[in-house]
Amino acid sequence: MTLRTIRFMIKEGAVNTYKNKLMSLASICIVSASLVIFGIFFLISLNISANMKIFGEQPEVVVFCEPDMDEAQASLVGEKISDLDEVSSVRMVTRKEYFETVKEMFEGNTGLLENLDETFLPVKFNLMLGDYEKCDDIEESLKNIDGVWDVQYPKKVVEFIRSISYWLRFLSILLIIVLLLIATFIMENTIKLTVHAREKEISIMQYIGATDGYIRWPFIVEGVIIGFAGAIIAYAFVAYGYTIIADSFNNDILQIGIEFIRLIDIRDISFLLVLLFIMMGTLVGAMGSWMSIRKYLKV
Amino acid sequence: MVEFSGVTKKYDNGTLALSDVSFTINDGEFVFIVGPSGSGKSTIIKLMLREEVATSGKVCVDDQDLMSMEKEKIPYFRRRLGVVFQDFRLLPKKTVYENVAFAMEITEALPKEIRRRVPMALGLVGLSRKAPVYPNQLSGGEQQRVSLARAIVNDPVLLLADEPTGNLDPEISWEIMQLLESINNRGTTVVVATHDKNIVDRMQKRVIEINKGKIIRDQQKGLYSNDTKND
Ligand SMILES: Nc1ncnc2c1ncn2[C@@H]1O[C@H](COP(=O)(O)OP(=O)(O)OP(=O)(O)O)[C@@H](O)[C@H]1O
Ligand SMILES: [Mg+2]
């Protein structure tokens, strides 16, 4: 295929897209509608997983030292804990500090603690993990350290987060697959209509000796143009809508005093989003054309 | 140029369109294929175009065995042929000029060649002035002349015409036949399937008559029918 032929086919595809305005417009709408739906789900899952990380850092693992251990011995245990790869930070809670928090817990009811001082409490460590997924693994390693009496962490919370993020990941992959299939299917059928309307044209081309590639490529160019246009329109809608929603959401949520949940700024993801849309749009367009023209090129 | 020997064509639905048909057409000949409706004229044209494949027998066109031709070769084979149909089959969204040029573009001809040959072909069929017009703005006769220009622009060795005058009145039909004859005079072999009695009788060319899928007459300088009483 010469460069001239490639140029000719691109021009043919572009001119055909223009000359079949109505059909092209219908296809563009369908592609952009599918992409908008996809974009909404994509942004939701992106935001949930971004906020999940913040949420994921919350659960603390608490390590208690043997109760008879003094604080010097305990700090040795603390060093061993911070040597573990999974641990991102360790904070030693002295008996005194610990006692203060316990007192706070029993506030107004100090009678219970009347005859007690901090010595009945063990030294404890609060640790943060880089990845809350590792809670189970690290529990074992912590328990194996000499002088560690008990390890506690909010199992339920961790399991909840874990199952949510698992399902979320699973769902978003499933969603992407389903939406891609739907978009291709819709595209295939829309293009099938245009191809059907142009069946005669295709057969004329075959009579005068056009090769399959010569007939197919302009259609694929057409599909790509339609997919591209659909992607740009979908992006405009999604980006605009998201900006409005994210701005007011972030505002409102700050006002009620929640700081750690924030919707992602559109500027951080616009490149990813536009790239994804264009890739999906053009791919779906090209695939739709390819599949719908296949039948007519058999004979 | 064309050789049919013992050709039988049975369509998928069981219709026997041709049975044991044999004939040879030499280079430069002008041949009419005549017969009543459903006799198999179009089937013969389709076999020559490799649109259909014979069920048995041998079909050779332009020294190529169409029975064993690979699918990928068909477009290249067709580029050496010109085709004209009753319904013109022009691309509605291309102008007259573009329709004719398209037949050259698909062969990846040089733009210079296209600019030279398309006006020539349009001149030959007398439509130079209609170059920028779309097919739906033309009369039937003019549309058929455009399709003739498209058929000859690549200088085909064989021109196949299936009822080229089927939609035209007698006067225009005659003009088209004159054009076909002049194309034939320039060396192109011409095969016309028709049931237009007037033009066949006037042209005095070789006539192959078929009926119910069988050749019943093959005559040089023939008339449409030997039976003078019954049409
Ligand atoms: N694609 C097809 N599938 C099945 N049967 C067909 C097909 N094309 C033609 N036939 C049958 O084959 C026979 C010959 O048809 P053909 O078109 O060759 O006739 P024809 O001589 O061209 O007729 P007409 O003058 O009406 O154009 C007819 O009985 C027709 O019904
Ligand atoms: Mg016919």
Mean pLDDT of A55-66: 71
Is A109 within a domain?
A: yes
**pTM (2 decimals)?**
0.72
A203 & A285 share domain: yes
What is the domain-level CATH number for residue A98? 3.30.70.3040
Q: What is the pLDDT of residue B144?
A: 93
Residue B230 in this model has a pLDDT that exceeds 60: no
Q: Which protein residue's CA is at the shortest distance from atom 24 of ligand 1?
A: B37
A42 & A187 share domain: yes
A207 & A127 share domain: no
Residue of B43, B194, B215 with the most ligand 1 atoms within 8 Å of its CB, for mutation? B43
Which secondary structure element, helix H or strand E, spans residue B5, and what is its range? Answer: strand B2-10
Residue A284 in this model has a pLDDT that exceeds 90: no
Partner residue opposite B103 with nearest CB, options A2, A201, A208? A208
A65 & A50 share domain: no
Q: What is the pLDDT of residue B229?
A: 47
Residue A238 in this model has a pLDDT that exceeds 80: yes
Name which of A298, A145, A280, A155 is nearest A226 in CA terms. A280
Judge: A4–B111 Cβ closer than 8 Å, yes or no. Answer: yes
Partner residue opposite B91 with nearest CB, options A2, A8, A201? A201
Separation of CA B214 and ligand 1 centre (Å): 13
Residue B9 in this model has a pLDDT that exceeds 90: yes
Q: What is the pLDDT of residue A43?
A: 86
Q: What is the pLDDT of residue A52?
A: 66
Q: How confident is the model at residue B4 (pLDDT cuts 50, 70, 90)?
A: very high
A84 & A222 share domain: no
* Residues of chain B contacting A204 with CB distance shorter than 8 Å: 89-91
Using a 10 angstrom Cβ sphere, with 0-12 exposed, 13-18 middle and 19 or more buried, the burial of residue B192 is buried
Is A85 within a domain?
A: yes
A44 & A181 share domain: yes
Mark which of A127, A153, A179 sits at the end of a domain: A153
Judge: A209–B111 Cβ closer than 8 Å, yes or no. Answer: no
Q: What percent of chain B has pLDDT over 70?
A: 98
Q: Which residues contact B17 (CB under 8 A, 6 or more apart)?
A: B9, B10, B11, B40, B43, B213
A208 & A282 share domain: yes
Q: What is the pLDDT of residue B231?
A: 47
A173 & A282 share domain: yes
Q: Which residues contact A170 (CB under 8 A, 6 or more apart)?
A: none
Is A113 within a domain?
A: yes
A65 & A44 share domain: no
Is A98 within a domain?
A: yes
Count: domains in chain A: 2
User: Can you give the residue range of the structural domain that contains A174?
Assistant: 3-54+168-297
Partner residue opposite B150 with nearest CB, options A208, A214, A299? A208
Mean pLDDT of B184-190: 95
Mean pLDDT of A146-171: 76
Mean pLDDT of B16-29: 95
Mark which of A153, A179, A212 sits at the end of a domain: A153
Residue B64 in this model has a pLDDT that exceeds 90: yes
For A163-173, how does the pLDDT look when each residue is reduced to its tens digit (9 = 90+)?
A: 777 787 787 78
Q: Rounded CA gap, B133 and B127, in Å?
A: 10
For A76-93, how does the pLDDT look when each residue is reduced to its tens digit (9 = 90+)?
A: 888 887 787 777 778 888
Is A159 within a domain?
A: no
Which secondary structure element, helix H or strand E, spans residue B56, and what is its range? Answer: strand B56-61
For B115-130, how does the pLDDT look when each residue is reduced to its tens digit (9 = 90+)?
A: 999 999 999 999 999 9
Q: Is B106 on the interface with A (CB under 8 A)?
A: yes
Question: Could you identify the atom of ligand 1 that is nearest to the CA of residue B44?
Answer: 18
Q: Is the CB of B11 under 6 A from ligand 1?
A: yes
DSSP secondary structure of B152-212: HTT--SEEEEESTTTTS-HHHHHHHHHHHHHHHHTT-EEEEE---HHHHHHH--EEEEEET
CB atoms within 10 A of CB A115: 7
Q: Which ipTM was obtained for this model?
A: 0.86
Separation of CA B38 and ligand 1 centre (Å): 5
Mean pLDDT of A143-155: 79
Mean of all residue pLDDT scores within chain A: 81
A186 & A286 share domain: yes
Q: Is the CB of B42 under 6 A from ligand 1?
A: yes
H-type alpha helices, chain B: 41-49, 74-78, 96-105, 111-124, 140-152, 170-185, 197-203
